[in-house]
Amino acid sequence: MDSDTRILITGANGQIGTVLTQRLRQKYGTQNVIATDIRPPQKEFEGPFELLDVLDAQRFEQVAGDYGVRQIYHLAAILSAKGEEQPLRTWEINMRGLFHAFEAGLKVGIDRMFFPSSIAAFGPDSPKVETPQKAYRAPLTVYGISKTAGENWMKYYHQRYGLDLRSVRYPGIIGYQSMPGGGTTDYAIDIFHQALQKGSYTCFLKADTRLPMMYMDDAIRATLELMEAPAEAIRIRTSYNIAGVNFTPAELAAEIQKHLPDFTIHYEPDFRQQIAEGWPQSIDDSAARRDWGWQAEYDLAKMTEDMLQHLALTC
């Protein structure tokens, strides 16, 4: 990538956007990374920021054009649990937002775009263990339906218009740097905060609910490695499976107890249990390993230690 390539991020204040913006700025220069979000940032930070509602196609094009953007990371979306409160609104934001990103990209002539898909793109009829790249996908949530559709539109815009579009199916992402909002995997971040602040946690999933997860550092590295790979290496133009760790709430609690022996957990499953049960328990990411050399670094023990260490400093 040229040193002056301009990058636009939507949803830059979100859980992943916050960290990705920072990493991209370290890598490509603060002024080259244009953070956008529907809300102003909560903390002051250096570097360009623009208010952008992804439903506003004209503004999307204008911001991309004004800054001479060459890459888009389109992260803005409503997640799984929150999405069920307003299914049609979620569809609107997740899908129309994506079309506006494609169209702004075509208009200003971007070189490359990233769109995150999710394990939520799978459904209850997909194999649960080591879920294959090409598994049958009939998701239950509107979020999952929008991600599956988004993946197919990625491939369509790539084939039809030659746009270089890239995507991964993120598992639940766990990090100390930012808080998630409205997801089903959010318990795995909240548990750390509550463990340090209160010494106990009430989990909205059952003790034995296994889900694929990934530490934030791995997720950001996966994103950058995919985006930096040569175009001819990218053989999948829907979205790549990527795996990090997988665990149940009980296993995570036991790992936290190794550091905080008095920590207690109890379980009050709610509607999110059904969402989680429709998702894979573990992921086969051999295609990402083969095509662009993906390899996770964090296991449950390393992730837990790092989370507690960083959060203890801020508690």
Minimum gap (Å) between residue 88 Cβ and ligand SER: 18
Using the rule CB under 6 A, is 80 a contact of ligand SER?
yes
Residue from 8, 75, 120, 135 binding ligand SER (CB under 6 A): 120
36 binds ligand SER (CB under 6 A): no
**282 touches 129 (CB < 8 A):** yes
Among the candidate windows 59-67, 181-189, 236-244, 263-271, which touches ligand SER by CB under 6 A? 181-189
Residue (60 or 143) nearer to ligand SER, CB: 143
Footprint of ligand SER on 156-175 (CB under 6 A):
170, 172
CA atoms within 13 A on the CB side of 212: 26
Given 143, 176, 201, 240, the catalytic residue = 143
Q: Are 40 and 103 in contact (CB under 8 A)?
A: no
Judged by CB under 6 A, does residue 71 bind ligand SER?
no
Candidates 116-124, 127-135, 160-168, 199-207 — which segment interacts with ligand SER by CB under 6 A? 116-124
Stretch that binds ligand SER, among 95-103, 180-188, 228-236, 290-298 (CB under 6 A): 180-188
Amino acid of residue 103: E
Amino acid making up residue 207: A
Q: Taking the complex as a whole, how short is the minimal distance between the CB of residue 205 and ligand SER, in angstroms?
A: 11
CB of 20 closer than 8 Å to CB of 9 = yes
**CB neighbours of residue 315 within 10 Å:** 10
Paired sense of beta strands 117-118 and 168-170, if any? parallel
Residue 143 falls in the annotated catalytic set: yes
Smallest distance, Å, CB 20 to ligand SER? 15
Q: Does 126 bind ligand SER (CB under 6 A)?
A: no
CB neighbourhood size of 121 (10 A): 28
Q: How far is the CB of 249 from ligand SER (least distance, A)?
A: 14
Contacts of 304 (CB under 8 A, 6+ apart): 252, 255, 256, 258, 259
Is residue 184 at the binding interface for ligand SER, with CB under 6 A as the rule? yes
| Residue number closest to ligand SER, CB atom | 183
What does the angle CA 55 – CA 165 – CA 25 come to, to the nearest 5 degrees?
75
Q: At what angle do helices 97-108 and 142-161 cross, to 10 degrees?
A: 20
Residues 6+ apart with CB under 8 A from 182: 78, 79, 80, 81, 82, 83
Number of residues interacting with ligand SER: please give it, by CB under 6 A.
Answer: 11
Is 183 a binding residue for ligand SER by CB under 6 A? The answer is: yes
CB 246 within 8 A of CB 212: yes
241 binds ligand SER (CB under 6 A): no
Q: Which residues pair with 246 in a beta bridge?
A: 212
Q: Could you list the active site residues? A: 143
Q: Write out the residues near ligand SER by the rule CB under 6 A.
A: 79-80, 118-120, 143, 170, 172, 183-185
